[in-house]
Amino acid sequence: MKPVRVRRYVPKNIRKRRWRGHNVDINLKLDWLERLNDLKAFDLRSICEGHPNSADLDKNGPHIIISLNSDLEVLFADKWPACQKMIKEGIDNVVFHPLTYVYFDFCNHYSRSNNRSYLRREIYLMLHLNLKKCRRITESSRDDWFTANVKAIEEYNQFLCDLLGTR
Ligand SMILES: [Zn+2]
């Protein structure tokens, strides 16, 4: 099973349910969660139905964050110099929900603590509902956003699998 990272701070008034050993927002449909969990190239890292009207600290919009499967990181890093443009065009060609802020990040980290140092590579695709354009989220607008973007992510997953030569 692929890991899912959920927010550590969970206000009591936000309703959750259990899914594969994790607490997930109650309005996230099983179909979306399973499909995002089944991606070949990506792992689901964080997903939230959005709580923009919440009175507490968890005021945020719907989002989906996935990261490239660690088995593919080296392959991706090798392709990056020659394929950046193609990777961008791959995203441009996917039809995300129109109210989506799409962010793709490829970065290398160095960190050191307690005399141990680490080099890490992270490749993320993050989708956030653009809250500047959509201040009021209804049940149906939220469902539309997730339905369109789960499909879009599947398309981008397939594009990247083809690019990296994974089946
Ligand atoms: Zn949430």
pLDDT digits (tens, 9 = 90+) for 117-142: 988 899 999 999 987 887 678 889 99
- What tokens appear for 115 in the block? 């005399």
Q: How far is the CA of 87 from the centre of ligand 1 (A)?
A: 29
Q: Who wins on pLDDT, 60 or 144? A: 144
**pLDDT number for residue 54:** 66
**pLDDT number for residue 61:** 87
The per-residue pLDDT for range 55-71, each reduced to its tens digit, is: 554 567 899 999 999 99
**pLDDT number for residue 147:** 98
End-to-end CA distance of the chain: 18
Highest mean pLDDT among 11-20, 59-68, 112-121, 149-158: 149-158
57 occurs within a structural domain:
yes
**pLDDT number for residue 12:** 58
CB 50 within 8 A of CB 129: yes
- Number of domains, the chain: 1
Q: How far is the CA of 76 from the centre of ligand 1 (A)?
A: 30
Q: How far is the CA of 52 from the centre of ligand 1 (A)?
A: 10
58 occurs within a structural domain:
yes
| Cα 110 to Cα 124: distance, rounded to the nearest angstrom | 17
11 occurs within a structural domain:
no
Q: How far is the CA of 6 from the centre of ligand 1 (A)?
A: 8
Enter the pTM of the model: 0.85
8 occurs within a structural domain:
no
On the question of pLDDT at 108 being above 70, the answer is: yes
Going by C-alpha positions, the residue among 29, 52, 6 that lies closest to residue 144 is: 29
- What is the domain extent for residue 109? 16-162
H/E element holding 76?
A: helix 73-92
On the question of pLDDT at 52 being above 80, the answer is: no
Q: How far is the CA of 50 from the centre of ligand 1 (A)?
A: 5
On the question of pLDDT at 90 being above 80, the answer is: yes
| Cα 167 to Cα 165: distance, rounded to the nearest angstrom | 7
Confidence band (pLDDT; 50, 70, 90) for 166? confident
Backbone phi, psi, residue 141, to 5°: -70, -35
65 occurs within a structural domain:
yes
7 occurs within a structural domain:
no
167 occurs within a structural domain:
no
21 occurs within a structural domain:
yes
- Percent of the chain exceeding pLDDT 90 equals 71
Query: What's the mean pLDDT in 133-161?
Result: 92
Confidence band (pLDDT; 50, 70, 90) for 104? very high
Q: How far is CA 150 from CA 6, 14, 20, in A?
A: 18, 23, 19
Q: How far is the CA of 97 from the centre of ligand 1 (A)?
A: 19
Rounded (10°) angle between helices 139-164 and 30-37: 10
